[in-house]
């Protein structure tokens, strides 16, 4: 296949590009590099620097023999979405619908979407199944769900074959690519920042939840397992009738915040001080997704998603890239030394 990865210079996108190249596919990356890194694009892939809102440029790229698209470009910070919902609706909905239009005009009808389990909001049961109620509690989740709706209607009207993959937290790294965000909001890299001496301690929000150790439990999958799911989903869009299929990706068990911190101490051999603070409003005790359907229908298996392997790979990448990607901004530790970071459930 000739695959276009929109947002392919980001953490999830670049790792997926690696997997596609390994499988023998031809890959073009389309990214505006606002949060991604040119250095993350693996050798062998073509990088086109362009914005999702630039329909003409997208159309030119899509018309160059592209067979299928993986869409990973989105705004994804929950807190930011609460402060500036307009930004999220423009990027995650309006600009993304522009991608669908560009695909339609170019005759490209196969699409895989990197979605989120945040579309479920606060679930009534865990593990969460695809048929469960979708009721997002922030603009981030709402806009991702809105774009799924647009995909569904494009499938009905224009013979698209699309798959949306919903998941919670991604961790781990490959030899080439790992997490390098600014600001960083994800649990694993925040904990590893403390291990690296870039922060004094982690703050754990809440230790009185109805869980075995009192801290929130969240689902995690290795970025390599997610990349493989993207490949399996793209292959699946080559068969069947026009439709949108939705699959959850998850461990079905999850790990607590305290378990992540303890495992990071073992993996890194560092103390990683942690200080409990009050709960955050709106943090459910447990968020875990069921991936039974993805395992059954796509043949997906999370082969690398143990806590130890995710942390080991993330730490190895961080030690090999202490300053992040070469095109990344300078470390945010600042002239006053390391700061505390918040070890939340993501």
Q: Which are the catalytic amino acids?
A: 140
Please check whether residue 136 is in contact with residue 166, taking contact to mean a CB–CB distance below 8 angstroms: no
Number of other CB atoms surrounding residue 208 within 10 Å: 11
d(CA 237, CA 155): 12
Say whether 5 sits in a helix, a strand or coil: strand
How many angstroms separate the CA atoms of 176 and 316, rounded?
A: 11
CA geometry: angle at 267 spanning 311 and 198, to 5°?
75
CA 90 to chain centre: 19
**Distance (Å) of CA 345 to CA 190, 232, 235, 297:** 11, 28, 32, 29
DSSP letter at 292 equals: H
- At residue 121's C-alpha, the angle toward residues 115 and 127, to 5°, is 80
Q: What values do phi and psi take at 4, rounded to 5?
A: -105, 125
Q: Which helix (H) or strand (E) holds 57?
A: helix 55-62
CA–CA gap between residue 187 and residue 260 (Å, rounded): 8
Residue 52 half-sphere exposure, CB side, CA atoms within 13 Å?
24
For 206-221, the DSSP string reads -S-SSSTTSS-EE-EE
What is the per-residue DSSP string for 103-123? HHHHT--EEEEE--GGGG-S-
């Amino acid at each position: 296949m000739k695959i276009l990865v929109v947002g392919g210079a980001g953490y999830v996108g670049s790792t997926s590009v690696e997997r596609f190249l390994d499988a023998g596919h031809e890959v073009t990356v389309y990214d505006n590099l606002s949060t991604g890194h040119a250095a993350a694009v693996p050798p062998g892939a073509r990088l086109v620097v362009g914005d999702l809102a630039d329909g003409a440029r997208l159309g030119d790229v899509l018309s160059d023999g592209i067979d299928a698209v993986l869409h990973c470009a989105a705004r994804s910070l929950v807190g930011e979405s609460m402060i500036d919902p307009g930004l999220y609706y423009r990027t995650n909905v309006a600009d993304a619908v522009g991608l669908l239009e560009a695909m339609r005009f170019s005759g490209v009808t196969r699409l895989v979407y990197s979605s989120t389990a945040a579309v479920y909001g606060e679930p009534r049961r865990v593990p969460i199944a695809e048929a469960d109620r979708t009721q997002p509690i922030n603009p981030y989740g709402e806009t991702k769900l809105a774009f799924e709706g647009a995909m569904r209607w494009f499938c009905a009207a224009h013979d698209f074959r699309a798959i949306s993959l919903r998941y919670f937290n991604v961790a781990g790294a490959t030899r080439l690519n790992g997490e390098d965000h600014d600001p960083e909001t994800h649990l694993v890299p925040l904990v590893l920042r403390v291990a690296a001496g870039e922060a004094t301690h982690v703050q754990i929000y809440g230790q009185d939840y109805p869980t075995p150790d009192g801290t929130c439990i969240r689902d995690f999958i290795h970025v390599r397992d997610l990349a493989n799911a993207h490949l399996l989903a793209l292959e699946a869009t080559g068969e069947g009738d026009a439709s949108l299929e939705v699959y959850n990706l998850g461990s079905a068990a999850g790990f607590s915040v305290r378990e992540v911190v303890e495992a990071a101490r073992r993996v890194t051999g560092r103390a990683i001080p942690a200080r409990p603070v009050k709960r955050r409003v709106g943090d459910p005790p447990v968020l875990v997704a069921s991936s039974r359907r993805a395992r059954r229908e796509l043949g997906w298996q999370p082969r690398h998603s143990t806590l130890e392997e995710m942390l080991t790979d993330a730490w190895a990448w961080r030690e090999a890239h202490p300053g992040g990607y070469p095109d990344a901004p300078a470390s945010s530790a600042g002239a006053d030394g390391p700061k505390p970071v918040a070890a939340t459930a993501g």
